[in-house]
A and B are shown apart, each in its own frame.
Chain A
């Protein structure tokens, strides 16, 4: 079974394929969320649209346990195991081999998640992967992009993409479809519900408190994400899908529902006036969903009001849809280039937040990727590593924002706690380490963050940071005097052929000094040679 985390970004050749002798097997995805476990089995033949064969869902309140007690209770675990056994039978029935099963915050934040997942694997044979907010975003975004491919919300203009989940809300700001900022905020419907449950006043006072809380969080969000500038709002999540269904009914063609601003606000006001029992009766909702409906809708309402959007787009997609696209690997070469662009623009947004020295960092990124390309045969790393190197290079100096002294360590800290669209927690740990080692001490056994990486990742860090150190040295003056660099092999040594303008003494000295790690990692001595610019 292909391990989902080691996806390579190398574009697949999209040549016409002869009709296969055997029909491709269906794929499956399982999503363990805060209030339910859901399965989707689908056919995803290459080059053709995905066809859903079966969907199943079991309500299990994982979130209630985790957000109240911090661990998954025995009854919940048993209910999950039963549900997954049932899903396993369905999958086997279809002959599914490739699947991806993920769990989000309700499992991620439970103290006993490891033991729980172990039991799942032993009992059902299903390997569930716990994903972080950033991976959730990436998958959801993939699904949204597929559905709203040609919509102006994604092709032009500023768009807010938001999802109020059980544990937290994920919000991204897109400019012409590129994610610029994103973040996770404490607006989870189950969490808010839990806080309210401890309130012993009247329903009305409780509502006021809830609004106040949401208002405060929105204040914080506004500092990081330019809500007011959003012209479109794309809303995801079970609660808003419920609202859409109530307001405009089911769409047979699965087209996105468009909810007008005023009507949506009116609907929210109406619903929030009822208590849980009334909601259960009125809408025939399961108790669990009725409990979280109000906090969620108030959150959507407040956020919508912040923006300039006149309507809310509610596409019929979910994390599962994104997972499906992921597993079916429907990514085209164009999709991959898009992905890199998104990652880099997210990285630049982070750098801007910390007031980076843009010309210097961009130059270092250019030279680093250049050297990476030149040494491809030597290091054997792929496109993903190249992207991570580029991100590390762009961000290597953000630690200056905290303090010039020890700034490489501050860079590590900032990167270890920040999110970049499309990069998982493991990716960020790698990037943070590469950026940390751009100056001063080399990786050592006493450096905990480095040793926390697995051996393979440490090797990658060594190679990438050696390249980054050299690239940084080539702009030692911060004047961007070096235009380009080639690496030639001469009698076992590496000649750095540097094309630059002006006096390159500093760069020469720095390169030879900071190239030491490169020599250590690759075993080649470095020679610095200036080249005259070639006439084109």
Chain B
């Protein structure tokens, strides 16, 4: 049953809509994940990551934004499905690039089936996402379908460019990225497909294309940055069972998080030498002692606390931008959901 009114508190509203819109998306997702040939090395594996669960933040935000701006829920479901498929495609490829070992509590796809098969599965997920976007034509008409498709193309392009920046830092063992560099990378790598595209596409669908999507840049950036910094924090201090990825995996990978960038800025000369040496070593060459040492130095220099406060600052700015952006949007469950997400991204465990 679709609920149109809710007395849920902000704390309850986010899980409530994530559950409701997530379920709608999962059902629609099944149309694209049905058993087909070749099953063993492709379509069975294509369904693997989506079936492992996930919070369905992105599709839910897309549907909520569309509804807040006046669309019927069904108008945004195809786009939400496309986003979830592309999100899973990014995850599969990310895991290969990062040499990650677990995803959503289970071994990553390339660990289970090999890099070659995993990369192909990621490609297939991207193409299925494209198919879902084309299927928008049934409900949105040709013009709006093209408009959403163009947004999706930009989202994908920004995301891979952001990923390239981060991979480049690791490949070149960059030790001088600043906080601004980090936020720029996050804007492209995370914000575009986690918050910007869901809001922009949703608002375009809700207004039938009568809104300038660039209005969402500030809000989407600050919300996405709060999300990413919190995600990076959870990698260091979270509950591994709930987090679903290996704890301290970012340190093993040498990922340039805000905490590591802070440590590179604050470390003493001796610490700098050791830190650069560890980061110059391939992942397989790093020891538990190295990772534990980096983690301890982060605590000693207040890097964790700095990142936590920065995440809160980003969330505060997001709330400010939300008030500007949604001032004219009528109050309702979807508007309140988007607002409540700001606190939710910080409170995740």
Tell me if chain B binds chain A. Answer: no
Chain A interface residues (CB < 8 Å from chain B):
none
